[in-house]
Amino acid sequence: DAGVIQSPRHEVTEMGQEVTLRCKPISGHNSLFWYRQTMMRGLELLIYFNNNVPIDDSGMPEDRFSAKMPNASFSTLKIQPSEPRDSAVYFCASSFGTGPYNEQFFGPGTRLTVL
Amino acid sequence: KQEVTQIPAALSVPEGENLVLNCSFTDSAIYNLQWFRQDPGKGLTSLLLIQSSQREQTSGRLNASLDKSSGRSTLYIAASQPGDSATYLCAVIMDTGRRALTFGSGTRLQVQP
């Protein structure tokens, strides 16, 4: 199994540019999570999907952030326009369902730097 | 609001020592608790998951215990090795229907050869 795949692994962009992060969950998993990790705030959930439907987006910081899951094998997180404070590592995770025994498996992350 | 605390923030031990990492949470109404390992610049690797009705889980040299009523979990690492050096994170999911992990800030472990 290839695990959760994220691209790009590193992204450097200038303030005001649009950034799109991509995630391919583990095959067969039907729950997908986007987390953000910063030194100041640690790891925090942004949004999660169950069966391609957004369930909880309360962690999305503001309207500049949007996420989609057009099918079971692909999700995007878009930031438009980007700001320096968006610099962080963005992780995608997936699980098979959301039961009490369902572990979340994380991808390698995308390190975003906004100049 | 659930808060997860991990003590100590950093730990350095000689190879071969048995060690205990601590995790505490303020709201005992949890669904499950998961321990992760994070290597520098890398993603998170799931180590153990304990469902709320369980008391402990074991995997190789790792043993995680859960005392839900007191809001505590420990990760025991037996016979530590330099390859165990990493940051260890615990995270809980609340029993509210929201399946987001709430993370502690981690314990950075260094095992000296």
Convert the pLDDT of each residue in B42-92 to its tens digit. Answer: 899 999 999 999 999 999 999 999 999 999 999 999 999 999 999 999 999
**What part of B 24-83 touches A (C-beta under 8 Å)?**
31-32, 34, 36, 41-46, 49, 51-52
The per-residue pLDDT for range A14-50, each reduced to its tens digit, is 999 999 999 999 999 999 999 999 999 999 999 999 9
Asked if B5 reaches chain A (Cβ–Cβ under 8 Å), the answer is no
B5-10 contact pairs (CB < 8 A, 24+): B5/B104, B5/B105, B6/B88, B6/B89, B6/B90, B6/B104, B6/B105, B6/B106, B6/B107, B7/B107, B8/B107, B9/B105, B9/B106, B9/B107, B9/B108, B10/B107, B10/B108, B10/B109, B10/B110
Question: In this structure, what token pair is assigned to residue B87?
Answer: 């940051």
Rounded distance between C-alpha atoms, residue A41 and residue A87, angstroms? 12
Q: What is the DSSP letter of A81?
A: S
